[in-house]
Amino acid sequence: MEDEIVILGSGGGRHHIRTQYRATGGILYKFNGIQSHIDPGPGAIVRLNQFKEDPVKTELFIVTHAHVDHYSDLSAIIESSREILHDRNYNYYKKGTLITTNEMLEYISDYHLNMLEKIVKFEAGNRLIYKGVEIIGTKTVHSPEIDGFGIRFNLKNYSIAFTSDTMVYNGFSEEFSGCNILILNLLRPNSIVCKRHLCTDEVIPYLNNINPPLDNLIITHFGSYMDSPRSTKNYVPSQVIKLQVNTNIRNIVAAEDGLKIKIRKLLK
Ligand SMILES: [Zn+2]
Ligand SMILES: [Zn+2]
């Protein structure tokens, strides 16, 4: 299994949940032979099958916060991560690790939690070594009601981070310093500000302050202002150009549903 990102959904927010105009299945991240599923939102299990990925291979489940576009399919994904659930005496096999916020555990049944080998309650600033890979919780400023974190993986040859849903904040650039690849949840285009998310114009100066500069930026989790029947056009291509022109980042990629990117190709 080569290190790879698979976009199981490039959409975010309630309108894409309803319309599935852009899918909301989260991201598969494969590293060091480990398959992780980050933020399995509505339709995650459908998208895994649609894009010919194997849910049985998933062993690491990550939910960054308790919003439905990030967690709704978690139970289905845990149950689908094994072909056989239990032995003849209904002793359930345990498999996998779940990394998530404390409050997220209230949204998932004991039946599914008991299928897991390990549950790691996580928040920004936390650090975990998973099979030799350092995993760090990054700060988010998102919903005042719920906790959340972004997540960063420091591997031997590269470092990759997922911002999760957040606004920009003091220290945003430092959080991702030393990253080769950043996956940015960019809900809104240009200067269309949102109190709980970030837009292109707001984030550009923060991206330019990441030191050393990122090699790659992958934008995803587009909201309805960005591209949907409610928007006047698909703003994604123009945001890619804007980021290319106005940042010091070598390579900008726009997520599409089903897009598969080998990490090797990003590290050239
Ligand atoms: Zn979201
Ligand atoms: Zn959210």
Say how many Å lie between the CA of residue 89 and the centre of ligand 2.
Answer: 40
Say how many Å lie between the CA of residue 146 and the centre of ligand 2.
Answer: 9
Q: What is the 3-state secondary structure (H, E, C) of 40-90?
A: CCCCHHHHHHHCCCCHHHEEEEEECECCHHHHCCHHHHHHCCCCCCECCCC
Say how many Å lie between the CA of residue 74 and the centre of ligand 1.
Answer: 15
- Cβ distance 71 to 87 under 8 Å? no
Say how many Å lie between the CA of residue 16 and the centre of ligand 2.
Answer: 13
Say how many Å lie between the CA of residue 164 and the centre of ligand 2.
Answer: 8
The dotted CATH code for 4-266 is 3.60.15.10
Q: What is the pLDDT of residue 128?
A: 98
pLDDT averaged per 10 residues in sequence order, the chain, 268 residues: 97 97 98 98 98 98 98 98 94 96 96 97 98 98 95 98 98 97 98 94 98 97 96 96 98 98 92
pLDDT, tens digit, for every residue of 115-166?
Answer: 999 999 999 999 999 999 999 999 999 999 999 999 999 999 999 999 999 9
Kindly identify the ligand whose nearest atom is closest to the C-alpha of 142: 2
Say how many Å lie between the CA of residue 65 and the centre of ligand 2.
Answer: 7
Say how many Å lie between the CA of residue 222 and the centre of ligand 2.
Answer: 12
Q: What is the pLDDT of residue 260?
A: 98
Say how many Å lie between the CA of residue 122 and the centre of ligand 1.
Answer: 18
Report the alpha-carbon distance of residue 238 to residue 240 in Å, rounded.
Answer: 5
Tokens of 141: 């400023």
Kindly identify the ligand whose nearest atom is closest to the C-alpha of 22: 1
Say how many Å lie between the CA of residue 165 and the centre of ligand 2.
Answer: 5
Q: What is the pLDDT of residue 158?
A: 98
Say how many Å lie between the CA of residue 58 and the centre of ligand 1.
Answer: 22
Q: What is the pLDDT of residue 76?
A: 98
Q: What is the pLDDT of residue 185?
A: 98
Q: What is the pLDDT of residue 117?
A: 98
Q: What is the pLDDT of residue 59?
A: 98
Report the alpha-carbon distance of residue 220 to residue 62 in Å, rounded.
Answer: 17
Q: What is the pLDDT of residue 41?
A: 98
Surrounding residues of ion ligand 2, Cβ less than 5 A = 67, 165
- 125-129: Cβ within 8 A, 24+ apart: 128/99
Q: What is the pLDDT of residue 89?
A: 95
Tokens of 111: 């039946």
The domain segmentation of the chain, as residue ranges, is 4-266
Say how many Å lie between the CA of residue 263 and the centre of ligand 1.
Answer: 24
Surrounding residues of ion ligand 1, Cβ less than 5 A = 12, 69, 165
